[in-house]
Amino acid sequence: MRSLPKILIILGSVLLLGTFLSPIWRITLEAPQYPGGITMYIWINKISGNQPGTLQNINILNHYIGMKMIEPESIPELKYFPKVIIGLAMLGIVFGFINNKKLFLVWGMIIIILGILGIYDFYLWEYDYGHNLADDAAIKIPGQTYQPPLFGSKMLLNFNAISYPYYGSIFIGLSLALSFAAFFLKRKEDNSKI
Amino acid sequence: MKSLNFIFTLLIIASVFFYSGCGNGSENGTGGAMSYSNAAEKVYVAPGEYDEYYAFFSGGFSGQVTVHGLPSGRLLKTIPVFSVDGEKGYGFNEETKPMLMTTFGFVPWDDSHHPKLSLTKGEHDGNFLFINGNNTPRIARIDLTTFETTEIIQIPNTAGLHGSPYPTENTEYLLAATRFSVPTPQKDVPIDSYKENFKGTFTFISGGQEPGEMDIAFQILVPGYDYDKANSGKGPSHGWAFFTSYNVEQANTLKEKNASQYDKDYIAAVNWKKAEEYIAQGKFHEWPSEYYHNYYDEKTHMATATKKKGVKVLIPSECPGLVYYLPAPKSPHGVDVNPTGEYIVANGKLSADLTVHSFAKMIAAIEAEKFDDVIDGIPVLNFDAILAGVVESGGLGPLHTEFDGRGNGYTSFFISSEVVKWSLETYEVIDRHPAYYSIGHLSIPGGGTMKPWEDGKYLIALNKITKDRYLPTGPELAHSAQLFDISGEKMELLLDFPTMGEPHYVEGILASKIIDRQVKFYLLEENEHPHRTLIEADTKVIRKGNEVHIYGTLIRSHIAPDNIEGIKVGDKVFWHITNLEQDWDVPHGFAIMGANNAELLIMPGQTETLLWEPKTEGIYPFYCTDFCSALHQEMQGYVRVSARNANTKMKWRLDEEVFGE
């Protein structure tokens, strides 16, 4: 199977587009009077919830503590992340056709770097929402901040905030895995040729 | 001496009856909890768990419907239907006032009687609930996705709408019968010209399965008796409707005596498929009768009242084969058709026995023309020719029968205050149980349909007298319902629970048939109310002469706008308030000091309008009445009312932003 690495890298590129099919992160707020919780889904290009009114309901809760409104229109990442993903997929396909092991490794490294940057960016947004609170908020608790965790759960006043990657992230992981598989296979292939 | 002997004999009979009564009831006593080892377990619904059934109770003279859960008996909701309800603003806000319009004007109260669920193929489909208003004849539709009254149709040429709504097998029609015969059409005549001038009507209402489409399909003019209850045929008897009558004596005064003289009254059997043929042939009279049709649109969140004119009337003497009279003892109340559709049970409320007629024999008697009499063109069938059997009950005053789908009938006996279980095969009594006290109607979930057992293992007794059943509450007591387990051979009394008004009937349905279709809130983007305000930035105040329209919004935890100036004494102020919430169970209320109507109780996504006419100058607070959030108490505002001739500028604000003329 001489063309296998090439197929894998192209497959990985196509799988990356799967991030448009499912959210990449999920944050759930749990409290007794919210049976089933309030769940916010973060997609590569939008923010949604488990109900039509979820975002509004979260903003209503947040305004009591002076948190900024979460307005998807004002988050630029939701506009350029999709372009980055599409660009990355196209690049992967081009690299696949060039069929060079170094390029496979480069593509994988780009995913890792962009992934880390993305998570760091997400952390910054969470930090900003959680710390940058209005002075005239109705509920002010000295020392209390409301940054939800990146991974895991944390009590924020009466809410338990639970944050984990969602199915969309699996596509990124698969792409990454395929890029490395392609790299190692290709290297093995190149070595055996000698 | 003779009379003394008679009294002794009576005493002996009474004591035997009393002891036998006690004997029957001994293991059940008068309902003491100790006698019921597992009754508590059977009715216990653990915290957070759901009841197995919804039960829709008529609110009787409250005019409303109450929704309870079974087997717990817990009250889940009161649905305003025919009476205004300050709690929900029903009949007070501008949107629902049209629901209570009639040709008599705005009628803010009624006497609600028989809740009946819509049917498809003779089974409860869980789509709608219908109920009749007895005093000012009307039928209402309640939508079971929202548990709100969405349609009311007035029934013309009718006085006292009792025998109603009793849908046909697929809700092709709802039935209605006049309880009090009156001159039809109405006219000014001496009351003692009853026999000459007074008539009854049966009405068939179409559109039961089509929201907004209820209408008077046709009416049948019948002799001037009192018509009591009704029921639709099913299976083989589908296409027929049955109505009980009393006062065939045609008394117009002291009816308690004068209407109770004859041994037999009649069940009117109406072949409504035949009626459809006559209507198609044009054999009807077009009467210019007027009636109202009121419809609440869930998109505009608004009701419209439409006055309609003209009904098609069939006259039996001109339409052979349309109506027959089946003799039945004595002043029958309920007429009940068993699940197979073959047996028609007449509950003669002043008799001891139950009469069961056979539908097959009825058809045979019609074909063989076994008529004893003809009244106004209506043949009276021979009693013996149509009789299937008699239940010699040993009780007194049968009112109403329902069925368990295992071949048994259950009949309420008002005078002897008991439920009697009997076999449709042998006509023998199987079991009897006292009811506390004086049972009126009874109900088995699905017991009036073709598939009772799928729905029903309980029987609910609706009792007319309460006395000592609960902690006393002064002269007026809640009516008492009782829940029986009927899954075994013997009936077992499980639970007493109080009800609202005087429930005349209750209909139960498996919760699973309704629960998944519940609307949790209205989508703002589907709100088509002409005075909606979908975002806070669009709130405004507009003056048109002495009318002021305030377009406001509610969202946790503020009202926008919350400071309004420029209102003047004598203004008609319309508060058009939209609840911007989009979550389940976040209604907001709205109330303003001195309003002469009620509050608004606005569901998420809904718009409602309160008319307010301030009479004196000053500052008036308004606030949210439904505890919505931690800052609910702060959800309030002020409106300034100035003198008529003042030149206060129209101005409104929220937080930093001030708007105005």
3-state secondary structure of B312: strand
Give the pLDDT confidence of A155-164 residue by residue, as tens digits: 999 999 999 9
Q: Is residue B16 part of a domain?
A: no
CA angle B585/B587/B589 to nearest 5° reads 155
Tokens matching residue B212: 């907004």
Mean pLDDT by 10 residues, chain B (661 residues): 51 46 42 64 96 97 98 98 98 98 98 98 97 98 98 98 98 98 96 97 98 98 97 98 96 91 94 98 98 97 98 98 95 95 94 94 98 97 97 91 94 96 96 96 95 82 96 96 95 96 95 96 97 97 97 97 97 98 97 97 98 98 96 97 96 90 70
Tokens matching residue B69: 């859960």
Rounded-to-integer distance, Cα B241 and Cα B84, Å: 33
* A52 closest CB neighbour out of B582, B629, B630: B582
Q: Of B497, B517, B537, which one is at a domain's C-terminal end?
A: B517
Q: Is residue B27 part of a domain?
A: no
Tokens matching residue B426: 């042998």
Rounded-to-integer distance, Cα B279 and Cα B319, Å: 10
Rounded-to-integer distance, Cα B604 and Cα B589, Å: 11
- Check residue B155 and give its pLDDT: 98
Rounded-to-integer distance, Cα B245 and Cα B268, Å: 7
Same domain, B377 and B301: yes
Closest CA to B119 of B372, B341, B433, B428: B341
Tokens matching residue B65: 């419907």
Q: Of B482, B517, B552, which one is at a domain's C-terminal end?
A: B517
Same domain, B359 and B491: yes
Same domain, B608 and B500: no
Indicate which of A55, A60, A139 best probes the interface with B, i.e. most B CBs within 10 Å of its own CB. A60
- Check residue B656 and give its pLDDT: 80
Q: Of B472, B490, B517, which one is at a domain's C-terminal end?
A: B517
Provide CB contacts within 8 A for B661, sequence distance 6+. Answer: B543, B566, B649, B650, B651
Total residues belonging to chain B: 661
Q: Is residue B6 part of a domain?
A: no
- Check residue B598 and give its pLDDT: 98
- Check residue B17 and give its pLDDT: 45
Same domain, B472 and B528: no
Rounded-to-integer distance, Cα B485 and Cα B410, Å: 12
Q: Is residue B97 part of a domain?
A: yes
Residue A143 Cα, gap to closest chain B Cα (Å): 21
- Check residue A61 and give its pLDDT: 94
Same domain, B77 and B211: yes
* B556 closest CB neighbour out of A51, A60, A139: A60
Main-chain phi, psi angles of A30, to 5 degrees: -120, 135
Task: Give the CATH number of the domain where residue B649 resides.
Answer: 2.60.40.420
Q: Which residue has the tokens 């708007």?
A: B659
Q: Quick check: B483 and B460 in contact, CB under 8 A?
A: yes
> Which parts of B491-539 are beta strand (E)?
492-499, 506-510
Section A49-71 average pLDDT: 94
Angle between helix axes A4-16 and A167-193 (nearest 10 degrees) is 160
Tokens matching residue B166: 């009793």
Residue B558: domain span: 524-660
* B582 closest CB neighbour out of A56, A138, A139: A56
CA angle B246/B249/B250 to nearest 5° reads 90
Rounded-to-integer distance, Cα A136 and Cα A84, Å: 39
- Check residue B21 and give its pLDDT: 41
Nearest CA in chain A to B524: A53
* B582 to A64: CB separation less than 8 angstroms, yes or no: no
- Check residue B24 and give its pLDDT: 42
Same domain, B54 and B194: yes
Same domain, B601 and B655: yes
- Check residue B36 and give its pLDDT: 58
CA angle B342/B345/B351 to nearest 5° reads 160
Rounded alpha-carbon distances, angstroms, from residue B143 to A40, B152, B226, B494: 32, 12, 31, 31
Same domain, B482 and B547: no
Provide CB contacts within 8 A for A41, sequence distance 6+. Answer: A23, A25, A26, A47, A48, A49, A50, A166
- Check residue A194 and give its pLDDT: 61
Chain B residues inside the 8 Å CB shell of A52: 523, 582
Give the pLDDT confidence of A120-163 residue by residue, as tens digits: 999 999 999 999 999 999 999 999 999 999 999 999 999 999 99
Rounded-to-integer distance, Cα B392 and Cα B103, Å: 47
Q: Is residue B24 part of a domain?
A: no
Same domain, B144 and B102: yes
Give the pLDDT confidence of B309-355 residue by residue, as tens digits: 999 999 999 999 999 999 998 899 999 999 999 999 999 989 889 99
Q: In what order do the strands lie in the sheet with B378-381?
A: B226-232, B240-246, B264-271, B323-329, B378-381, B371-375
Tokens matching residue B334: 């309920």
Q: B634-657 burial, b if ≥16 CB within 10 A, otherwise e? A: ebebebbbbeeeeeeebbbbbeee
| DSSP assignments along chain A, one per residue | -TTHHHHHHHHHHHHHGGGGTS-SEEEEEE-TTSTT-EEEEE-SS-EEESSTTHHHHHHHHHHHTTPPP--GGG-THHHHHHHHHHHHHHHHHHHHHHT-HHHHHHHHHHHHHHHHHHHHHHHHHHHHHHH---TT-S---TT---PPPSSEEEEETTEEEEEEE-HHHHHHHHHHHHHHHHHHHHHHHHHHH-
Rounded alpha-carbon distances, angstroms, from residue A35 to A31, A38, A39: 7, 8, 11
Task: Give the CATH number of the domain where residue B125 resides.
Answer: 2.130.10.10
| DSSP assignments along A48-91, one per residue | EESSTTHHHHHHHHHHHTTPPP--GGG-THHHHHHHHHHHHHHH
Provide CB contacts within 8 A for B131, sequence distance 6+. Answer: B58, B65, B81, B112, B113, B114, B115, B116, B139, B140, B142, B165
Q: How many CB atoms lie within 10 A of CB B492?
A: 20
Q: How many CB atoms lie within 10 A of CB B395?
A: 22
Q: Is residue B1 part of a domain?
A: no
Q: Hey, which residues does B177 pair with through a beta bridge?
A: B202
Q: How many CB atoms lie within 10 A of CB B414?
A: 24
Q: In what order do the strands lie in the sheet with A38-42?
A: A47-49, A38-42, A25-30, A159-165, A152-156
Closest CA to B278 of B316, B220, B319: B319
Domain tally, chain A:
1
Q: Quick check: A115 and A174 in contact, CB under 8 A?
A: no
Main-chain phi, psi angles of B376, to 5 degrees: 50, 40
Q: How many CB atoms lie within 10 A of CB B49?
A: 10
- Check residue B1 and give its pLDDT: 44
Q: What is the ipTM of this complex?
A: 0.89
Give the pLDDT confidence of B223-260 residue by residue, as tens digits: 999 999 999 999 999 999 999 999 999 999 999 999 88
Q: Chain A contact for B631, CB < 8 A?
A: yes
Rounded-to-integer distance, Cα B154 and Cα B132, Å: 10
Residue A169: domain span: 4-193
Closest CA to B428 of B455, B402, B446, B408: B408
Tokens matching residue B516: 């998944």
* B583 to A53: CB separation less than 8 angstroms, yes or no: yes
Q: Chain A contact for B655, CB < 8 A?
A: no
Same domain, B558 and B502: no
- Check residue A191 and give its pLDDT: 87
Same domain, B506 and B529: no
* B581 to A53: CB separation less than 8 angstroms, yes or no: yes
Q: Chain A contact for B583, CB < 8 A?
A: yes
Longest dimension (CA), chain B: 98
* B555 to A52: CB separation less than 8 angstroms, yes or no: no
| A–B CB contacts, 8 A cutoff, strictly below | 27
Domain tally, chain B:
2
Q: Which residue has the tokens 């859960």?
A: B69
| DSSP assignments along B91-112, one per residue | TTSTTTGGGGEETTEE-----B
Q: B60-98 burial, b if ≥16 CB within 10 A, otherwise e? A: bbbbbbbbbbbbbbeeeebbbbbbbbeebbbbbbbbbbb
Same domain, B485 and B534: no
Provide CB contacts within 8 A for B649, sequence distance 6+. Answer: B565, B566, B660, B661
* B582 to A60: CB separation less than 8 angstroms, yes or no: no
- Check residue A118 and give its pLDDT: 95
Q: Is residue B655 part of a domain?
A: yes
CA angle A138/A140/A142 to nearest 5° reads 170
Nearest CA in chain A to B558: A60
Residue A54 Cα, gap to closest chain B Cα (Å): 8
Closest CA to B324 of B242, B263, B260, B427: B242
Q: Is residue B9 part of a domain?
A: no
Rounded-to-integer distance, Cα B570 and Cα B616, Å: 9
Q: Quick check: B12 and B470 in contact, CB under 8 A?
A: no
Nearest CA in chain B to A138: B631
